[in-house]
Structure formats: structure tokens, C-alpha cells
Chains A and B, each alone.
Chain A
Amino acid sequence: MSGPVPGGTGPVPADLPPPPRRRPRRYSWRSLIVAAASTVTFFTVFALVVVNAPGWESVRRSFFDAEIFVDSLPDVVGGFGVNVRLFLIAEVLILALGLVLAVMRSLPGAVLYPVRLLATAYVDLFRALPGLLVIYILGLGVPALRLPGVPNEPFFWGVVALTLIYSAYVSEVYRAGIESVHPSQAAAARSLGLTQLQAMRHVVLPQAVRRVIPPLLNDFIGLQKDTVLVSFIGVVEIFRESQIEQTARFNFTPYLATALVFLLLTIPLARFTDWLIARQRNRRPAAAQANVRARRGRVIGWFGRNR
């Protein structure tokens, strides 16, 4: 048997100076006050500049009409139901299609080259094209073919177009996750006799997906806003509704209502994504030490820390 290892950490000589004392963290409350003061100042100046602009009165009338806001809100919110339906359906399809594409691109071996080529071409194509163009081509072009059995509702083609576009982005997110799982994990799975696909399914993907949930949510924020693009092929959704209201009243306030609806949807989702990222960072064993600090400074960190 090997004895104790010489040359390891030996006894520390007693006459070494003590390690330097850590300076206590005193800057947190100060940074909170500074953040508050600078925020108030900034927004006061900003508001004063806007309100004192020469055209403010006319802008206020055409964009900030309280009565029109209240009047148009029900229709605008009603239109938003279409957007919600659109992105909920699309998100499910995108998650599935994106995953299939990512796995296709991650399979090794010369035989599977055509599979990788196909997936790569798909991702390149739909990331290269402006989304609106894809929506136009599919939403106006395909129904014009009048093929029997092919649906021609613009809502259907809106879902298809957004799914095609966003699954290309999402597959890249998945792929980054797959590549972030160390190859030794797949090797360990294969050494136990699991097939390539079993190793992917049971060992690599569960770890990969967990890591990419925050960037996936980020893409979904983009998708949810892009649902307004389908108004261009005739889907009456929130943007179209506010357009109708705007032309009927000669006033832009309904757009403001639309903007508000999106803010209320997107900002909580963005905060949730940030929270997930922070939680994930704290969970990693390497970050165990940083964990304590992060917990202590959570409230203050939102204002003062370098994020």
C-alpha cells in the first residue's frame, strides 16, 4: 500500500504573518442611496424635457388620450387573445422541432452527413430570411396555389411561419446546450451499452435542456412580440385591432394600449428568466461560495451590482 504522500501540504510554520483581514462590506447601503438618487434625477430631467418640448401638446392629445385609452382597451385586449393563442401553439411546436433539428445536427458519423447537412441548411435558411418575408411568402403564396386540402386561413400560416423561423433559432440554443455537456458523459453512457440515441435521450439532453431554459425563454420573448407580424397577412390580432381603433378615432392612443399589454406580458417573463439564470449560477458547485454572498445582496444587487 502507498503510505502518506510526502511533499503534500506540510505543517505551516508558526511564525507566518496572519492572513490579511477582509475589509467589511460597507458599500451596499451607500450604493442603494446613490442608485435611488441618480434614478430620480434622471427621470425628472427626462420628463421635464419631454413635457417642455414644443410639440408636446399635440403629442399628448394624439397619444395620451385617457378617454380613448379606456374605450379602446377592451378591443385591444380582445385582439391579444389571438396573439396568445398563436404563440402558445407555436411555442409547443418550436420546442419540438428545434429539438429535432438540434439532435439531427449533433449526430456524429459519416453516414449521417446528409442528416446534418439538411438540418444545417434549414437553420441557415430561416435565420437568414427576414421573418416578415417568410410570413408573407407562406401566408399569401401558399394559399394562392389553391391546392386541395391545404388550409388557407392566415392564422394557420402565421403559426407555421413563426414556427419555422423560431425553431431555427431555438435549435441553435439547444445545440449550444448539447455541446456544453462534457463528452465524457456520452462516453460513460455508451460504455454501459447505451446506443447513441439512448445516450442522447437519457444522459446528454436532460443536462443540456436544463442549461438552456433561460436562453429559450429569451427567444420566446422575441416570438411573443413577433406575433404582431402576422397582422400583415390578415390575422386580426392586437396590432390590427389597435390599427382599426386608430383609424376610426384619428388618434394613436390605442397603440399605447397595445404597448402596455406587451410590457405587462414581457417584463415579468424577462425578470423570471433573469431569476432562473441567477438560480442556476448559484446552484453550480463551483459557485457555492458566491452563493452566500448572492443571497445576502439579492435586493441591493438589483440596483448596485455589476450585472
Chain B
Amino acid sequence: MTDPALVVEGLWKSFGDLDVLRGIDLEMAQHDIVCVIGASGSGKSTLLRCVNLTEPIDAGRILVQGEEITADGVDVDRIRRRIGIVFQAFNLFPHMSVLDNVTLAPRKVLRRPRSEAEERAAALLERFGLADKRDEVPDRLSGGQQQRVAIVRALAMDPDLLLLDEVTSALDPELVGEVLNVIRDLARQGMTMLIATHEMGFAREIAGRVAFVDGGRILEAGAPEQIFSAPREPRTREFLQRIIDAGRL
């Protein structure tokens, strides 16, 4: 049996007096897709940022494929290479072409020669319908295209684990679909993904497991059918009712 793709144990994170994460436990096997749902401010994004080591954690452990990445003296740059993250606001590099956005890390971090990096990047862009955009700068693309480029940029590093942080929240409604299709495609390829999302319908469709985060804890986790159809916790029911009332489920 191989090591789990991701283990989070007793993760605790505070910003000043505010305890954002209060003991998160989570385990993901290879090829798992876990969707994290919960109200704004419940700690979904912070959880992802902690797993990516963007935020130092206050207590607990995080293991990626058996290696404790939160241990003292771990080379964070080496860890981040293996964990891709895609942000709500895309965060593409505006001064570079799409192709350079995608090849920067493979060239500088993995020291791949430019020709090889560009070849691989071109293949990825092609696969996600962005071949004709390779020489554009990000500002000239639609939000949906930008987010797809951001996903390609993360994929170019061949991550073992992909974190998606509300990747459709900044998009116009008509552009959400194209980004979700990319994620569906990745799911079919067996990419291990931890997804924070407000797209409940999508979570239900794609997730192997759904985790409901409330007050800095995973209050309830389980199969999407169980969470969405028969939630055990009153808080989960309350949250889902609000979503239904808003017409989003």
C-alpha cells in the first residue's frame, strides 16, 4: 500500500487572536478528489494555503506521500514544487506571455532547457484549448481563459497534488463552465485534488468525498450523496439550506 497523498493532523492556525483553523484532520489517497465546502471565512482557503506552506501553521502536521512537510528544516521550495495551487484571482504574471507564464517554473526550478519546457507547455495548452493564446499576455484573455492558463501553469510542474482555491469564484457565470470542464478532465486523468469551492452542484458531481468546514473544523465529511442528501449535522443542514434558498443547488 502506498502512502496517502495527503495527511493533515490536528492542523491549527491563528491570525493574531483569531483561530481560523482549530484542529483539521483530513486524509486523501492517491487520485482522491476532496471538495471542501463551507461559508466564506470558515477557513477553506487557509487550509489550502497551509497545505501549500504559504502560511506557517501553529500546530499539527501535514504529510505529503508520507513525508512530513511541516517538519523543521524541510526545504519549502522543494515541497511547493510537488504541490500545485490555483488561486481565485488567477495571479498570472502580467508581464509575460502565456507560454512564459507556463514555462517559468519548469525552466527556473526544474532547470529544464527552454525548448523542452516550451514543447511540454505547448502540449498542455493545446490539450486545454489554449494553443492559439500562447503568445498573448494574460490581460488580453478572458477570465475563464486566464484561469485555465493558471491551471496549466500549475500542471506544468507535474504536481503530485493540486489545490484549487475557489477557482471559479472570480469568474463571470458564463465562464465558469469552461474552467469546470478542465477540472473534470483532470479528474478523469486521476489527478489528486483538494478543491475549495462554492459550486455545490460541481462538488456533488466530481468529489469522491465532501468535507464541510465550519468554525475552523471539519464538522462532517463523507460521500457527496450523504452530505448533500442526508447531512447529519444541524450546521451542515443549515448551510445547505441557505445555499438552496439562494437557488445555488
Q: Interface digits, B67-92 against A, CB 8 Å rule (1 contact, 0 not)?
A: 00000000001101101110101011
- A285's nearest neighbour on chain B, judged by CB, is B139
B109 within 8 A of A: yes
B52 within 8 A of A: yes
B205 engages A195 (CB within 8 Å): no
A192 engages B153 (CB within 8 Å): yes
Q: How many angstroms between the C-alpha atoms of A7 and B246 in the bound complex?
A: 9
Q: Which of B54, B87, B205 contacts A190 (CB 8 A)?
A: B54
Q: Interface digits, B149-163 against A, CB 8 Å rule (1 contact, 0 not)?
A: 000011001000000
B84 proximity list for chain A (CB < 8 A)? 191-192
Q: Interface digits, A182-204 against B, CB 8 Å rule (1 contact, 0 not)?
A: 00110111111111001000110
A191 engages B80 (CB within 8 Å): yes
- B176's nearest neighbour on chain A, judged by CB, is A2
B201 proximity list for chain A (CB < 8 A)? 1-2
A1 engages B202 (CB within 8 Å): yes
A193 engages B157 (CB within 8 Å): yes
A206 engages B95 (CB within 8 Å): yes
Q: Smallest CB–CB gap between A272 and chain B, Å?
A: 22
Q: How many angstroms between the C-alpha atoms of A191 and B176 in the bound complex?
A: 24
A305 within 8 A of B: no
| A-B pairs with beta carbons under 8 A, tally | 79
Q: How many angstroms between the C-alpha atoms of A5 and B205 in the bound complex?
A: 19
A2 engages B104 (CB within 8 Å): no
A194 engages B109 (CB within 8 Å): yes
4 interchain residue pairs of minimum CB distance = A193-B81, A192-B105, A188-B91, A193-B109
Q: How many angstroms between the C-alpha atoms of A203 and B94 in the bound complex?
A: 9
Extra A-B contacts (15), CB below 8 Å, given A194-B108, A194-B109:
A1-B201, A1-B202, A3-B247, A4-B173, A5-B173, A6-B247, A187-B87, A188-B92, A191-B80, A192-B104, A192-B153, A192-B154, A192-B157, A210-B95, A285-B139
> Which residue of A6, A188, A195 has the most chain B CB atoms within 10 A of its CB atom?
A188
Q: Which of B52, B95, B105, B139 contacts A194 (CB 8 A)?
A: B105
Q: How many angstroms between the C-alpha atoms of A203 and B180 in the bound complex?
A: 28
Q: Smallest CB–CB gap between A255 and chain B, Å?
A: 46
- B side interface size, CB within 8 A: 36
B200 within 8 A of A: yes
A120 proximity list for chain B (CB < 8 A)? none
Residues of chain A touching chain B, judged by Cβ–Cβ distance below 8 Å, are: 1-8, 184-185, 187-195, 198, 202-203, 206-207, 210, 285
A194 engages B77 (CB within 8 Å): yes
B154 proximity list for chain A (CB < 8 A)? 192
A188 proximity list for chain B (CB < 8 A)? 87, 91-93
Q: How many angstroms between the C-alpha atoms of A231 and B129 in the bound complex?
A: 65
A195 proximity list for chain B (CB < 8 A)? 77
B109 engages A192 (CB within 8 Å): yes
B80 proximity list for chain A (CB < 8 A)? 190-193
- A203's nearest neighbour on chain B, judged by CB, is B93
Known: A2-B202, A192-B105. A207 touches B95 (CB 8 A): yes
Q: Smallest CB–CB gap between A283 and chain B, Å?
A: 10
Q: Smallest CB–CB gap between B48 and chain A, Å?
A: 10
Q: Interface digits, B195-219 against A, CB 8 Å rule (1 contact, 0 not)?
A: 0000111100100000000000000
Q: Which of B54, B78, B199, B247 contacts A187 (CB 8 A)?
A: B54
- B88's nearest neighbour on chain A, judged by CB, is A184
> Which residue of B78, B89, B95 has the most chain A CB atoms within 10 A of its CB atom?
B95
B139 proximity list for chain A (CB < 8 A)? 285
Known: A192-B154, A193-B77. A207 touches B94 (CB 8 A): yes
